[in-house]
Structure 1
Amino acid sequence: MWYYPISGLINGLTLSLLGIFVFARNRKSPLNITYAIFCIFISFWSYSYFLWQISKNSKEAFFWCQMLMLGAIFIPSSYFHFVTTLIDKYSEKNMRRIVYFAYLLAGFFAILNFTPLMIIDVKPRLRFPFWPTAGSAYKYFLIYFAAYSIYGCYLLLKEAKKAKGIKRNQVLYVFIGSVLGYIGGATNFPLWYDIKIYPVGNILSSVYVSLVAYAILRYRLMDITVAITRTGIFIAVYTFVLGLPFAVAFLLKNRLTAIFGGYWWTLPLGLMAVLATVGPFIYIYVERRAEARLLKEQRRYQNTLKQASLGMTRIRDLRRLLDLIAHIVTKTVKISYAAIYLYNKDTDEYLLQVSRDKGKGRNSPIRLDSKNPIVVWCAYKHQPLIYEEIKRQKEDLKTELYSDLEEQMRLLNASVVIPSFLDDRLMGFIVLGDKLSNQVYTRDDINVFEVLASQAALAIENAQFYEETKHMQEQIAQAEKMSTIGTMADGLSHQINNRLYALSLIAGDTIDTIRMTDTSTCAPEVKEMINQINHALNRIQTNVIQGGEIVRGLLKYSRQDDTTLEPLDLSTVLDNTLEMVQYKVKLSEIDIHRDFNNLPKIKGNLVQLEEVFFNFIDNAYDAILERKSTLKEPGYRGRITISALPKSDSTVEITVEDNGIGIKSDNLKKLFTPFFTTKTSSRRGTGLGLYVIRKIITDTHKGNIQVESEYGLGTRFILELPVSI
C-alpha cells in the first residue's frame, strides 16, 4: 500500500517544483501566475494526501482528510481560471464573472469542509485503514467539481478546433493533460461512497501538470500525435518488458519450483535482465516505424527540399532560381504563402523579388530598409522568426521589440521568417505563411528550411556573380567598340568633313547665285519662295559649321595622346571641356560657376584633363537630374562649382562640387572600382569613368584625388595637381 502515499508525495514535489519554475520564468505573465496558483492547490492536496495515508490514528487521518479536501475544493476554480487565461477569454466580462463565481463557490464549500456536511468520519475500506465517508453536501461539491472541470475541457477542445499552429498544439497538450489528470484523480471518489474501486490513477496528476508546464514553457512543441504515439509505445513496450517476468513468476511458480527447486526465481530474473537489455532497442525500432507512418508526408517534403537545395547551385539565372525556390516551397510543403526578399546594396534595402499566394490576395511590403526590426533581428540573432513565439513573447514580456516584430510579421503575412546567410552576411530571407493543413512548423521543418536558406544564399551569390560577370563582359565589349571608334575617328572625321565641305560649297554657290539674280520682276509669290530658300540655305551653312566643330571636338577627344605634360591654364581646359560637353549635357538647365583667379599654370596633359572634367560634369548632371526626379524639391536648380587655389608652391587644389543627389556612404569606398556605377537612370554608365579619372590623376599626373559626399545634398571631388615650374 506504499504506492498511495508515495504517489501523493511525488505529486506534491513535482507540482511544487513545476509551479515555482514556471512562475520564475515569467513573473508578470498572467498565464504563468494562474498556472502557479493552480499548482499550489493541487500540491496542497497532494501533500495532505501523503500525510493522510501515513496517519497513525483516525483523528490524525480525519484532520488531513479535511486539509486535502480544502485543496481539492479550489482545484476546479483555479483550473478554470488558468484555462480562460490560456485561451484569451478571461478578459471577456461574462467569462470573468464565471471565474469569480467559481471562487465564490469554492469559498462556500471551504466553509462546509469543516462541518459533517462534507466529511462525516473516516473508517476502514478495502486495504485503507482510514478512508473518509461523504457527508450530505459532498455530492454538491462533486457537481461543482465536474461542472467546472468539464466546462474547462470543453473550452479547450473548442479553442483547439479553431486555433492553428503552435497555439493549437499548446491547447491540445493542456486538453489531453486535463483529461488524464481528471481521470486519474476521479479514481479517488468511488470509495467515499463505499464503491470498491482502488484510486490507482492518482499518479496521473503529475503527468497532467507536467504536460501543462511543457505546453507553457515550450514554443516549438512536439506534434501532439507524435507525442501520444511515443507515450503509448513507451508504456506498451515497458509494460511488456517489466510485466512478462512478473507474469511468468506468478503463473508458473509451481512448475518452476518443481523443475528448479529453490532457484525457481532465476528464470524470471534472467528473463527480466534479457528484456531490460533489448527493451530500449525494441522501443527505438517500434517508435521509428510508427513515426515513419505518422510523419510520412512530412518526411517526404523534407527530403524533397533537401534534394532541391543541393541542385540550386547549378542554376545561373537569378530570376529563375528565385521562382524555383518559391514554387518548390509552396507546392511541396503546401503552404498558403511564400515570398523571398534579397538585399540591394545600391539602396541598402531588402526588396521583394518573388512571391506565391494561394488565393487570398495578400499585399506585402515591396521593400524593407536595413533598420527594420525583422532585418535587425535576423542579422543579430542568426535565428528564424516564428510568429506564434513572437506573439507569446509580446504578451508575456510586453516590450517594444516584440511588439514591433509582431506587427512587422503580420504585415509580411509571415508565420515563419527564415534568414539566408552567406558567411555572416544577411543575403535575404524567406517568408512562409501558414500550412494549408493548419499543422505547426516542427523543429525538423525549421532545420530543413535553414539548410535550404543556406544553400539558397550560395546559389544566389553564384547567380548574382554570373550576372555581374555577364554585364561586365558587355561593358568591356562596349568599351572596346568605343575604343575602335576612337581609332577610326581620324578616317571618319576626314570622310564626314568632306561631305560637310561639299554641302557647304553647294549651299554657298546657291546663295551667291540667288544674290546675283535680279528678282525685281518676279511675282510676290516667287520672291517669297526665293527668300525661304535663301533662309534654308543659310541654316544649312550654319549647321555645317557646327557639324565641323563637333567633328573636330570628337577627333580631339578620341585621339590617342602621348601623355606629354605641358603648362596648362585651367580656364582653357574648362573652355574646351564645355565646348564638348554641351552636346551631351543641357547646360541651360544648370548653373556652372568658376571660382579662381590668378592661378598658376598646372603641369598636365590637355586631352586627359579634358576627359577628367568632362566626366565630372557629366556625372554631376546625372546626379542633379536624379535629385530633381527623386526629391521633387520646389525651386531646385542644379549647380556645379569649380574652384581652385594654390595649396603649396608645387601643387594646386581644384574642387569640383555639385548639389545633386549625392552618394550613399556604403558606396563611397567602391566609387573608384572598375565597372561600379551609382547611376540608376536610362543614362546608366559603364562604371569606368571614375576609375579612369583616378588613373589619369594619380598615375599620369602624380597627383591625388579625394571624394566627399552626403546623400541628398551633393558631392565634392578634390584634386591635387602639380604646378608647372
Structure 2
Amino acid sequence: MQTYLALSGLLNAVVSLSLGIIVLSKNSRKAAHILYFLFTVAIAVWGTSYFFWMREMTDRETALFWTRALTVGSIFMPVFHVHWILVNLKLEKKNRLLIIATYAFAFTYLLFSFSPVMVEDVAPFRNVLPFWPQPGWLYHFFVAQVLLSGVYSVYLLVAKYRATQGMQKLKIRYLLLASFFGYFSGGSNFPLWYGIPFVPVTNILFSLFPVFIGYSIVKHHLMDIRLALKRSTVLLASVGTTLLFIISIKYLSKMLTFYNGFWIDILLVLASVSIYPFIKNFFLGLSNKYFFSSRYNVQDLVSELSANISTTLEIGEIYKSIYETFYAAFYPKHFSILLKKKSRERFGIMYSSGLNMAGQRLLNKHTNSLAGSAKKKKLLFIDEMLISAEGEEKTILQELKDINLSLLLLFYYEGEVLGAVALGDKESGEIYNDEDIAVFDIISPQIAISVKNALLHHDSLSYADRLNVEKNKISSILTNFIDPIIFIDKKNCLRIFNPSAQRIFGIRKQDIGKDISRISLIKENLRSIISSKAVQKSDNKKSMAGHKEIFVEQEGRQRYFKAMSTPVLNEQNESIGSLKIFYDLTKEKELDRSKSEFITIAAHKLRTPLTSIKWIFELLLKNEAGEVPAEQKHYLEMGHESNEILIDTVNELLNASDIEGGDYELELAGCNMEEILREIPESIDSLLKEKKIAMHYEIMENMPLVQADKEKLSMAINGIIANAAHYTSKGGQIRVKAAAENGSLVITVKDNGIGIPEADKSHIFSKFYRSENALRIHTEGSGLGLFIAKNIIKMHQGEITFESETGKGTEFMIKLPISF
C-alpha cells in the first residue's frame, strides 16, 4: 500500500508539472495560464513530498520533514485554484478582497509549515503505514479553508453553468468534473489525520484534477463529457484487460514451471499487440450499448443522407433532406442553408427553419464576413471564435450568438466556398461534440456535390428556357426584317437566311448547309460579297465592315443594297461565322440622284450670272466705269470676295456632280509634283499670311515626273492644304513632304490644328459632311473638298489616308503611282 501511495504522489507531480509547462508555453502572458502553472507547481511540490514521505520506512525525522514539506504545496493548491476560477469567470474584480485574504492566510500557514502548529508529529497507522502526520492546532484552520474554497469554487461554477450555454457551458462541466476529482481524491487524505481509518486509495485520481482544467484551457473546441468518459473508460478497460492477460500468463507459466525467459516475454508482447484491437472493440461496443449510446448511428445517418440527396436534382428536395437529417440527429433550435450568390459574391438564405426574420437578416448580413476569414476551414464555432475575436468581428459573433447560432458548416466545391449550413444550439443544451464533427467532415463534400449538381441542372433548364425564348425572338425578328439577312459559318456554308433574302436573292431552303460557291444566285458578284470575311479587331471587339453596294433587278425595277458584314463570336471570342445584312438603298439612291440632278441644274444656272457679277465687280474695282469713292470701294471688295466664294462653291458642286455621274475625265501628262506643291493659290496664301502660319517643305530632289492631270491633282492637294490653313490656329505650322518610295510618290500634309474627333473619322470623306469642331471655326466650307480630293486621287490610281488626334493636329497621306 505504501508503494502504491508513493507512486500515486509521483504520478500526480509529474503529470501536473508537465501540463503546467505545456499550458504556460501556449501563452506565458495570460493570467489564467500563469495561475494554472503555479497551481501545477504547488501540486508538484505536494506530490513529490508525498512520494519521499511514503518511501520512508524507518526514519521518523525524515518522514516528519517530508510531511511538513508537502503542506507547502497543499497550502497553495486551493488558493491558486480559487483564484484561477475567479479569473476564468471574470469575477476577480468583484472578489478582490477575497483573493487578498486567501493569499494572506496562505502565507501565514507557510510561515508555520515546518513547525508543530501545522504538523505536530508523525505516528504509525496500524500495520499499514509506519508514519502518518498528526495535525497541529493551526492545521484545523487550514482544513476549514480548503473545504470553504472547494464549496465556494463549486458554487461559482454551478451559478455560471446555469447562466451560460454552448461551449462555455461544456467548459464549466469540465471544471466541475475537475473539482470533483480534485477535492474528492485530495480530501481523502484528511480522515487519517484525524484518526478516521480511511486509507486514501483514491489519491491516484488527483492527477485528473489538473488534467481536466488544462484540457479546458488548451482546447478551444472541447469534446462532450460523455464522449471523454467513454473514451477514457474504453482505454482503461482495454489496457487493464491486456495487462491482466500478460500477468496471468506470466503467473501460470511460473506456477506450471514453463520456460520463463526472454522469448516468452517477446511472444507475450506480440500476442498483446494482436489481441488489443479486439479487446478495445469489445469494450467500445459494450460502452455504446449499455452506457454511452449515441442518439444516432453515424453510418446509418451518412448513408441515408447520401442516398436522399444523390438521387434527386431538385434543389428544394435536397434542402429538405439535409434539414430532416440534421434535425433527426442533432435537434438544433434552428437550421438554415445559405448559398453564395455569384452575381453579388454574397451569401443568401435558401432554406430556413426555426429562425425568425430578424435572425435571418443577421445571418445573411454576417455570414459573408465570417466565411471570408475562414481560410479553408469547414467548421466555424461561434463560441470558439469569440475567445480570440476583437473589435467588429467580436460584435458580429456576439450578435450571432444572441440568436443562438452555434456553428457554420461550410461546404466547398473545387476549392471555393459554395454555401454553408447554419445550426443553432441543440435543444438539449448539449454542444456539438467530436462525434458530430466527424459526421460533418464526412457529409460536407456530399452536400457540396449534390447542391452543385442540382444548381447546374437548374441553370441548364433555365438556360434552355432562355435559349428557346431567344430563339423565338430571333426567328420573329428575321421573319419580319424587311431587308435580306444571311449568316454563313466559318466554313463558308449557308446556315440562316430570312424570307427577304429568299425573295430578293433567290436563296432556297435546300441551300442550307451548302457552300456558297455551290448555291445558285441571281448575281455573280453577290457570291463574293456573301463570301467575304467580316473584320474582327485585335481587341476582340466586333465591327461592321464591307460597305459594298449591289443592285438587282426585280419586277423590272432596279434595287440597290448596301452589304454590311459583322463577325459572330462565341463566348470565347472566337469567330463562328459572319452575318450579312443588305440594307435597301433604293429610295436613298433615287433621292440622292434627284438631289444631284437639282444641284447640277442649279449650279449650271448659277454659273453664268455669277460670272457676270464677277465681271461687274472687277470693272468697278478697276475704275473702268468711272471713279469709285474709297468707302464704296470697300463694300465692292467685300461683295467681290463673297462672289468668289460662291463661284468656288458652285464649281465644287459641279465637280462633285461630274464625279458621281462618271463625267469627270482626266487629261494626263507628265507633271512636276514640286511645282504643284509650291504653287499655292492666292486665296490660300493670303489666309496663311493673315494667320501667320508657317509653311515648311521637305521635297525630294530630282523627283520623277508623275503622270497626272495637273489641274485636278492641284485642286485635290490645294484643297487639303486649304483645310489645314483653315483649321490651324494663328502662329501654327504646316509641313509638306514628298518623296518617291517603291515606285510611288508619297505626299504628306501635316498641321498642328484642331484635329478630327474620333466619332467623325469614318465620315470625313463623305459628301457634304463637316465635323462639329470644324463648323465652329470655319462656317463657310461646303463639305465637298475632301470628297472631291479623295475621288481625284482615286482616279489617279492612288489612295489617301489620314491620322488625327483632337487638339493635336492632322496628317493626310497621299500615295500616287509614278506612272499608270
How high is the TM-score relative to the length of structure 1? 0.61
**Which piece of structure 1 moves more, 310-319 or 339-348?**
310-319
Whether the 8 Å CA contact 2:483–2:581 is kept in 1: the answer is: no
Q: What's 1:137 paired with?
A: 138
Tell me if 1:644 matches 2:759.
Answer: yes
> Following superposition of structure 1 onto structure 2, how do residues 161-172 of structure 1 map, counting pairs within 5 Å?
161-172=162-173
Deviation at 1:36, TM superposition (A): 1.4
CA distance in 1, matches of 2:34, 2:395: 25
Deviation at 1:287, TM superposition (A): 1.8
Q: What's 2:370 paired with?
A: 374
Q: What's 2:26 paired with?
A: 25
**Which piece of structure 1 moves more, 54-63 or 335-344?**
54-63
Whether the 8 Å CA contact 1:337–1:356 is kept in 2: the answer is: yes
CA distance in 2, matches of 1:403, 1:347: 25
Deviation at 1:75, TM superposition (A): 1.3
CA distance in 2, matches of 1:649, 1:453: 65
Tell me if 1:333 matches 2:330.
Answer: yes
| 1:474 aligned residue (444, 465, 472) | 465
Corresponding letter in the other structure for 1:386: F
CA distance in 1, matches of 2:483, 2:582: 23
Tell me if 1:206 matches 2:207.
Answer: yes
Q: What's 1:41 paired with?
A: 42
Higher helix share: 1
SS of 2:300's equivalent?
helix
SS of 1:418's equivalent?
strand
Corresponding letter in the other structure for 1:387: I
Deviation at 1:69, TM superposition (A): 0.8
Q: What's 2:319 paired with?
A: 322
SS of 2:336's equivalent?
strand
Q: What's 2:359 paired with?
A: 362
CA distance in 2, matches of 1:123, 1:281: 49
Whether the 8 Å CA contact 1:318–1:464 is kept in 2: the answer is: yes
CA distance in 2, matches of 1:360, 1:472: 32
Tell me if 1:10 matches 2:17.
Answer: no
Q: What's 1:117 paired with?
A: 117
Tell me if 1:181 matches 2:220.
Answer: no
Corresponding letter in the other structure for 1:15: S
Structure with higher RCO (Cα < 8 A, 6+ apart)? 1
- Measured against aligned partners, the alpha-carbon deviations of 1:494-520 in whole angstroms (never above 9, x if no partner) come to xxxxxxxxxxxxxxxxxxxxxxxxxxx
| 2:300 aligned residue (296, 299, 303) | 303
- Measured against aligned partners, the alpha-carbon deviations of 1:604-655 in whole angstroms (never above 9, x if no partner) come to 96759xxxxxxxxxxxxxxxxxxxxxxxxxxxxxxxxx952659999xxxxx
Q: What's 2:741 paired with?
A: none
Q: What's 1:67 paired with?
A: 69
SS of 2:122's equivalent?
strand
Tell me if 1:223 matches 2:224.
Answer: yes
Deviation at 1:436, TM superposition (A): 0.7
The verdict on how the C-alpha distance between 1:123 and 1:156 changes in structure 2, with shifts beyond 3 A counting, is same
Whether the 8 Å CA contact 1:70–1:113 is kept in 2: the answer is: yes
Deviation at 1:249, TM superposition (A): 11
- Measured against aligned partners, the alpha-carbon deviations of 1:407-445 in whole angstroms (never above 9, x if no partner) come to 464377521111111111211111111111111112231
Whether the 8 Å CA contact 1:305–1:329 is kept in 2: the answer is: no
Q: What's 1:508 paired with?
A: none
CA distance in 1, matches of 2:131, 2:415: 69
CA distance in 1, matches of 2:227, 2:478: 76
Q: What's 1:103 paired with?
A: 103
SS of 2:296's equivalent?
helix
Deviation at 1:285, TM superposition (A): 0.7
Structure 1 portions without partners, runs of 5+? 494-553, 570-603, 609-641, 651-724
> Following superposition of structure 1 onto structure 2, how do residues 510-589 of structure 1 map, counting pairs within 5 Å?
566-567=546-547
| 1:388 aligned residue (383, 387, 412) | 383
SS of 1:430's equivalent?
strand
Q: What's 1:514 paired with?
A: none
CA distance in 2, matches of 1:434, 1:302: 23
The verdict on how the C-alpha distance between 1:295 and 1:143 changes in structure 2, with shifts beyond 3 A counting, is closer
Whether the 8 Å CA contact 1:487–1:559 is kept in 2: the answer is: no
Whether the 8 Å CA contact 2:123–2:132 is kept in 1: the answer is: yes
Corresponding letter in the other structure for 1:406: L
The verdict on how the C-alpha distance between 1:291 and 1:100 changes in structure 2, with shifts beyond 3 A counting, is farther
The verdict on how the C-alpha distance between 1:249 and 1:566 changes in structure 2, with shifts beyond 3 A counting, is closer
SS of 1:415's equivalent?
strand
Q: What's 1:489 paired with?
A: 480
The verdict on how the C-alpha distance between 1:408 and 1:473 changes in structure 2, with shifts beyond 3 A counting, is same
The verdict on how the C-alpha distance between 1:114 and 1:155 changes in structure 2, with shifts beyond 3 A counting, is same
Deviation at 1:375, TM superposition (A): 2.0
CA distance in 1, matches of 2:258, 2:148: 56
Deviation at 1:130, TM superposition (A): 3.7
CA distance in 2, matches of 1:300, 1:369: 33
Query: Please, what is the CA RMSD of the aligned residues?
Result: 4.3
Deviation at 1:43, TM superposition (A): 1.2
Deviation at 1:154, TM superposition (A): 3.4
CA distance in 1, matches of 2:250, 2:174: 38
Tell me if 1:192 matches 2:193.
Answer: yes
Deviation at 1:49, TM superposition (A): 2.2
| 2:433 aligned residue (412, 429, 442) | 442
Tell me if 1:285 matches 2:282.
Answer: yes
CA distance in 2, matches of 1:476, 1:54: 90
CA distance in 2, matches of 1:53, 1:375: 57
Whether the 8 Å CA contact 2:335–2:355 is kept in 1: the answer is: no
Identity among equivalent pairs (%)? 22
The verdict on how the C-alpha distance between 1:455 and 1:407 changes in structure 2, with shifts beyond 3 A counting, is same
> Following superposition of structure 1 onto structure 2, how do residues 74-93 of structure 1 map, counting pairs within 5 Å?
74-91=76-93, 93=94
Q: What's 1:451 paired with?
A: 442
- Measured against aligned partners, the alpha-carbon deviations of 1:563-591 in whole angstroms (never above 9, x if no partner) come to 5865499xxxxxxxxxxxxxxxxxxxxxx
CA distance in 1, matches of 2:187, 2:89: 25
Whether the 8 Å CA contact 2:216–2:222 is kept in 1: the answer is: yes
Corresponding letter in the other structure for 1:33: I
Corresponding letter in the other structure for 1:437: S
Q: What's 2:593 paired with?
A: none
CA distance in 2, matches of 1:369, 1:101: 46
Whether the 8 Å CA contact 2:65–2:114 is kept in 1: the answer is: no
The count of aligned residue pairs is: 507
Whether the 8 Å CA contact 2:15–2:207 is kept in 1: the answer is: yes
Q: What's 1:636 paired with?
A: none
Deviation at 1:38, TM superposition (A): 1.3
> Following superposition of structure 1 onto structure 2, how do residues 193-272 of structure 1 map, counting pairs within 5 Å?
193-235=194-236
Deviation at 1:144, TM superposition (A): 1.1
Q: What's 1:700 paired with?
A: none
- Measured against aligned partners, the alpha-carbon deviations of 1:121-162 in whole angstroms (never above 9, x if no partner) come to 233444444432211222221111111113223333444455
The verdict on how the C-alpha distance between 1:648 and 1:143 changes in structure 2, with shifts beyond 3 A counting, is farther
Corresponding letter in the other structure for 2:188: T
Deviation at 1:320, TM superposition (A): 4.1
Q: What's 1:638 paired with?
A: none
SS of 2:373's equivalent?
helix
Corresponding letter in the other structure for 1:72: S
Q: What's 1:461 paired with?
A: 452
CA distance in 2, matches of 1:408, 1:64: 55
> Following superposition of structure 1 onto structure 2, how do residues 641-680 of structure 1 map, counting pairs within 5 Å?
644=759, 646=761
Deviation at 1:54, TM superposition (A): 4.2
SS of 1:298's equivalent?
coil
SS of 1:299's equivalent?
coil
